[in-house]
Structure 1
């Protein structure tokens, strides 16, 4: 190219401009249209070029830029000037060049960055080597399995590993201990491996970043904060230096929560109590007791780690451990400077439920002429409870990426709707997070992995015709679901609904829709949704006989409405969110408080068509409906989204 290329960038526009300069110089006249955008932690390349060589090189050049880790190549070739290239080479999702992992800080101590791949100058020798490689896969440290965008699926293999957590050092107040987290092929007496995922048969390496949390820890310093899985060769473990809290009591539980992320996408978690290990025998002599303690492996616990390498993560992910007392937050964001991680704590001053109830109890009855201002005040009250570091991270992400970037909350706290936060900046011009951005939530510690895709299948609609308290708009919604979206009207009975849950519907199911009354639980397991003849309670869903979730992973839409004197759904959403995650469903859309019949139908009309067609992600579809109706009714602000914020429906 004749000059040194600067591979840094501070905005998507700058990234697009620099890539265009490179391609125009290398492929004169072949670039018809070029567009670079960001979807979560993935850079999307679209437009039109005149050759497969240009298309493939555009992807490779884009991956050379600082902080570009995932690329989805959607460039179209308008004219084939040479033989089409192998899609497995040109459409790989990740960088294929050897690289070093940098270490970046976000104000809360150093954290390893899994981004930061760069090539400071053009290297024609490397390009010739790359193009001439037989498999088209040149992978170095930290490079994951690549996706395949061709028409045929490549052969795949199932990968499983044994989670290991080992610690060494004295587990006592103020001590510094070393913690090692791995995913190994060696069973070493462990009972069950974890199914990590399905990868291309020729995969070589996959990198996962690791975060650890424990309320008994004062600080955590990563030495190597990521795990590198290898098809051939040993796994590289993540290592941390941890300082035990001065308040820790020797012999008490030392529960360590471990979270695994691929980019910004949460893959799962495992749980260990490091205090449960064999103590020195009382009869051991002084010399024996003085020997350095060997690394101790904590007993296994239930966990899940499911990696979907070609799934996009959000631009900002927030993990919230703990419900009451002190909540521990960890966040990871993506931007032009790659990945940045931070942490902080939240003190609510009361139980999470009490905090949420104080703010939300009056929401269903807020006056039509003042609810918007009241809700803004509630949003700012929630914002002020978030850690200072998180608020700074959000504003930094907003400055770099603008409005609309997706946010994923993964939380132990089912009560506080953190997505309702409204930043008190710029004179109040910034709206609630879930109006400004696609946002979704999911339980943090659950056996139900996030699903990035909803399968093709039936849409099943349950809409009771109550003899009393008629819901006119729910009836219209039923007709609309079937006539416009191709739904199947189901018998709105308790037995029919339970049969569906138990997997007795023979065909694949992608969406389960309910429009009717809901009952809030009074503490006696009496909450649920009201079918034509009886109520289906939450505990009847939250059990092992529920098979449809694990089988098909459908989305559930609970459009529980209220008539003028009807039942409501206040507080129902929180319990259903946990049940949906634990029983394998792909997601849930439901209101947090009572909503009116007409606005419930409107929210369905404004969200489901673009979602089911695959035009919008789960988070974006509901955000758009919420944004459209935010000035009309407070009910529009009641709807929360559970699942993978980036999830899409399959179109075939």
Structure 2
């Protein structure tokens, strides 16, 4: 809502309020601005005294529908009201013929249009003292904040006549406790003006080993993740100057027109040992209101997960389902109980195929494999990846998440390994030939130089929609983390630099159908290393297997996936779901694939 009376400030109660204000402070009436955003009122401008400031804010808190008041009033001069009426007395004011609204506007500035940049700011309102309350202000400011680390938020595709955008913010910390709802607020981003910040409040933990507390603010809107920021705050035991941290870097680009998934699951580190914040976001409002919680991912959980993955690849086709069910139960039991209730509420209302977007910096657990179980009804669901369109995204690459997968040529690499017959993969080669036959893919020479050149320059006369590799890879991290070409390895570090321009140039989607040639107990973190590389360098997504896959079933998976994206016009998550479902009963291979991208993305 814009400043002034507006539609929300035009009711009888507001007209009475403005008349009261005009009678009490006639010299300051035109200097005060009142705005309403949902159940929140914002009051700013100049008042004659601290007493006037207190009375106006208290009167606003009495207004119908107002739950919170953001006080931005400034005391400018020690003047007395011209009329002795007390706004808090309950008595009606003297008769007045004036019935005008407050229309004070910000100073004019160049119009910023439909694409704006705001910078996260986290500011403690006082000292952080162990065992005491700490109030923290969170804002999306016009300029970077040197003490806050986080990517700038770019709101794009806004309506031509937009005036403000409400962005929900939630503060979490392993070093603070919050009453229910006290860590959640709304920042109002305004056109051509500073944003209206929000304040949250919690209690600092009393831990003798702490010198600093760490807080993270998560921003979201339309049921989806917009980004996050963090700050370290010195725990005061004696007076000390704050320690400035690295300034804001990067950008988060949010397509305001982007359709949100039915559910976004956000799993992000609290920067404390083994502790992660879990929150389920959605534009759907049914179901339990408590959608967040804290989970612990310790060494025993990650080791057990690695053991299960290593066992699955040793099973004969058709004997894998029981082991994967055990893995799925383990992951389900790691989730907060509040999420389990939310999941079943969504499933009962939306059915088994609602879309799910994972946003996480947790590097070990394959959350897509969880197998939900309803303890109240004993209902058991399939693995998330079989029942739902689902995809994940790397938290630090938030800004590059897009629902537009590029159409263009498919560049395919399928090394034949002529000098190492034991490494030959006939189905991988036939997969590459099939892509050429069915989609006119460009068959590329399977050597290091050709691969690295495409990564840096793309193709001279073609936009590359999909970069496809079918061959051997090693993601164990102990020796080689890379893909094996005909002549040598291409290691991840050789691609992870500013010279890799293909993503920025074409927005290419990457498919690594890489069969492992080494250790089979590597973790998701190794694959995520490649995902971070591609997503940060503006590739539109990435698919790769988490463990060693069978040549034949891996080839069937990729064929179904590419056909789903390009022939059947499926969204990314649904193309992945159908590809897994096609051979799920035959082999553990389809369960191995992890997909990075917007779950609702389509090739356009």
User: So what's the TM-score if we normalise by structure 1?
Assistant: 0.68
Deviation of residue 428 (structure 1)? 5.9
Task: Please give the per-residue CA displacement for 1:305-361, whole angstroms capped at 9, x wherever unaligned.
Answer: 321111112211111122862222122234353995622122244265424213222
Structure 2 residue 201 is matched with structure 1 residue 241: yes
Any conservation in 1 of the 2:183–2:200 contact (CA below 8 Å)? yes
Deviation of residue 274 (structure 1)? 2.4
1:262 is matched with 221
- Cα–Cα, structure 1 residues 618 and 550, in superposed 2: closer, same or farther, change >3 Å? same
Deviation of residue 578 (structure 1)? 2.4
Secondary structure (helix, strand or coil) at the match of 1:356 reads helix
Between the aligned partners of 1:373 and 1:275, the Cα distance in structure 2 is 50
1:51 is matched with none
Any conservation in 2 of the 1:163–1:184 contact (CA below 8 Å)? yes
Between the aligned partners of 1:340 and 1:253, the Cα distance in structure 2 is 32
Between the aligned partners of 1:339 and 1:427, the Cα distance in structure 2 is 19
Trace 1:156-171 onto structure 2 (pairs within 5 A): 157-171=114-128
Indicate which of 126, 142, 162 corresponds to 1:203. 162
Secondary structure (helix, strand or coil) at the match of 1:445 reads helix
Task: Please give the per-residue CA displacement for 1:119-159, whole angstroms capped at 9, x wherever unaligned.
Answer: xxxxxxxxxxxxxxxxxxxxxxxxxxxxxxxxxxxx96431
2:260 is matched with 313
Structure 2 residue 504 is matched with structure 1 residue 550: yes
Deviation of residue 517 (structure 1)? 0.7
Task: Please give the per-residue CA displacement for 1:522-559, whole angstroms capped at 9, x wherever unaligned.
Answer: 424x1211112111112122222222223332211011
- Cα–Cα, structure 1 residues 187 and 343, in superposed 2: closer, same or farther, change >3 Å? closer
Any conservation in 2 of the 1:348–1:355 contact (CA below 8 Å)? no
Higher Cα radius of gyration? 2
Deviation of residue 264 (structure 1)? 2.0
Trace 1:197-346 onto structure 2 (pairs within 5 A): 197-200=155-158, 201-219=160-178, 221-222=181-182, 225-247=185-207, 249=209, 252-275=211-234, 280=239, 300-302=247-249, 304-322=251-269, 325-335=274-284, 337=286, 340=289, 342-346=291-295
Deviation of residue 255 (structure 1)? 2.4
Deviation of residue 184 (structure 1)? 1.9
Structure 1 unpaired stretches of 5+:
1-97, 103-111, 113-154, 283-294
Deviation of residue 594 (structure 1)? 0.7
Deviation of residue 377 (structure 1)? 1.5
Trace 1:35-184 onto structure 2 (pairs within 5 A): 100=38, 157-184=114-141
Deviation of residue 455 (structure 1)? 2.3
Which stretch of the first structure deviates more once superposed, 394-403 or 365-374? 365-374
Deviation of residue 212 (structure 1)? 2.3
Secondary structure (helix, strand or coil) at the match of 2:504 reads helix
Between the aligned partners of 1:243 and 1:434, the Cα distance in structure 2 is 39
Between the aligned partners of 2:472 and 2:243, the Cα distance in structure 1 is 53
2:366 is matched with 417
Any conservation in 1 of the 2:151–2:249 contact (CA below 8 Å)? no
Structure 2 residue 315 is matched with structure 1 residue 377: no
Secondary structure (helix, strand or coil) at the match of 2:131 reads coil
2:465 is matched with 510
Trace 1:453-602 onto structure 2 (pairs within 5 A): 453-467=404-418, 468=421, 469-506=423-460, 507-524=462-479, 526-561=480-515, 571=523, 572-602=526-556
Between the aligned partners of 1:424 and 1:388, the Cα distance in structure 2 is 11
Secondary structure (helix, strand or coil) at the match of 1:365 reads coil
Between the aligned partners of 2:207 and 2:177, the Cα distance in structure 1 is 9
- Cα–Cα, structure 1 residues 223 and 602, in superposed 2: closer, same or farther, change >3 Å? closer
2:78 is matched with none
Secondary structure (helix, strand or coil) at the match of 1:408 reads strand
Task: Please give the per-residue CA displacement for 1:461-509, whole angstroms capped at 9, x wherever unaligned.
Answer: 1111111132111111111111212321112111111112223433432
Task: Please give the per-residue CA displacement for 1:193-226, whole angstroms capped at 9, x wherever unaligned.
Answer: 9361433443322222222222212226447622
- Cα–Cα, structure 1 residues 450 and 387, in superposed 2: closer, same or farther, change >3 Å? same
Computed over aligned residues only, the root mean square deviation of the Cα atoms, in angstroms, reads 3.2
Any conservation in 2 of the 1:303–1:447 contact (CA below 8 Å)? no
Any conservation in 2 of the 1:320–1:328 contact (CA below 8 Å)? yes
- Cα–Cα, structure 1 residues 567 and 438, in superposed 2: closer, same or farther, change >3 Å? same
Secondary structure (helix, strand or coil) at the match of 2:411 reads strand
Any conservation in 2 of the 1:568–1:595 contact (CA below 8 Å)? no
Any conservation in 1 of the 2:127–2:235 contact (CA below 8 Å)? no
Between the aligned partners of 1:346 and 1:188, the Cα distance in structure 2 is 30
Any conservation in 1 of the 2:134–2:204 contact (CA below 8 Å)? yes
Between the aligned partners of 1:594 and 1:230, the Cα distance in structure 2 is 51
Any conservation in 1 of the 2:119–2:248 contact (CA below 8 Å)? no
2:17 is matched with none
- Cα–Cα, structure 1 residues 608 and 327, in superposed 2: closer, same or farther, change >3 Å? same
Any conservation in 2 of the 1:166–1:296 contact (CA below 8 Å)? no
Secondary structure (helix, strand or coil) at the match of 1:396 reads helix
Any conservation in 2 of the 1:550–1:583 contact (CA below 8 Å)? yes
1:126 is matched with none
Secondary structure (helix, strand or coil) at the match of 1:207 reads strand
Secondary structure (helix, strand or coil) at the match of 1:254 reads strand
Between the aligned partners of 2:163 and 2:371, the Cα distance in structure 1 is 44
